[in-house]
Amino acid sequence: MIVKTFEKTASQLRQFRTETRGSVNVEAIIFMPLLILTMAVTMIFYDAFRRDSLGEKAAYTLGDMLSRETDYITPDYVDSAISLFGFLSESEDELTGIRVSVVSFDGATQSYNVEWSEVRGGHATPMTEAEVATQHDQLPNMVSGEQLIVVETFIDYEWPLNLGFDDGVLTARVFTRPRFAPQLVWQGS
């Protein structure tokens, strides 16, 4: 009995395999919307991760640029830096923002101090002593008297389709030590 059932099932499977009648249209109608939706969602997530990656790479570029500077940093310099950031991150100027701060470490009191901080764009305020005091665990270890350049970047991101995520701000934070001079000095109003 089992052998007959097995032979009958095998015969039906062979018949099904060699069958050429029917239409692919039904299968296409069922799977095409799912395929299109999957491709659209993949492209949207790719765009979000691409924008985030471009913003982070641009932040590293700004940090490196500032670390090599031996002259004074002026308001025009920071204005140019945000323009460069918008170009590198492929973002419109009104959607971007940067905060450049120089933080020093006092070994005697084991505290970080803000030497100066400049902001362009509407995403942040200049870094304060109170803010840096709460971020000891986020700042790298430094020796007494050493300065650190902190570059923070912001890009407004709006999802092209409503996938249930809120629009937000893509941020990056980069720490860089001055390379060719022991400090980065602000000269401006």
Tally of domains within the chain: 1
Task: Average the pLDDT over 84-97 and give the result.
Answer: 87
**Domain that residue 42 falls in:** 2-176
In a domain, 95, yes or no: yes
Determine the pLDDT at residue 50: 92
Task: Average the pLDDT over 154-164 and give the result.
Answer: 83
* Run of H or E including 37: helix 25-67
d(CA 108, CA 130): 18
d(CA 126, CA 66): 17
In a domain, 63, yes or no: yes
By C-alpha distance, which of 49, 45, 82, 48 is closest to 65? 82
Determine the pLDDT at residue 110: 86
Question: Under a CB-based contact definition with an 8 Å cutoff, are residues 100 and 117 in contact?
Answer: yes
Residues 6+ away with beta carbon under 8 Å from 43? none
Query: Is the model's pLDDT at 128 over the cut of 80?
Result: yes
Least confidently predicted of 11-15, 82-86, 172-176: 11-15
Q: The whole model's pTM is what?
A: 0.77
Determine the pLDDT at residue 166: 82
Share of the chain above pLDDT 70, in %: 96
In a domain, 181, yes or no: no
d(CA 153, CA 174): 9
Residue 180 to residues 34, 85, 101, 145, 183, Cα–Cα distance (Å): 56, 23, 18, 16, 9
In a domain, 87, yes or no: yes
In a domain, 101, yes or no: yes
In a domain, 129, yes or no: yes
Task: Quick: pLDDT tens for 136-150.
Answer: 888 888 888 889 999
User: Using 50, 70 and 90 to split pLDDT, how confident is the model at 100?
Assistant: very high
In a domain, 186, yes or no: no
Query: Is the model's pLDDT at 35 over the cut of 70?
Result: yes
In a domain, 72, yes or no: yes
d(CA 88, CA 61): 9
Determine the pLDDT at residue 23: 65
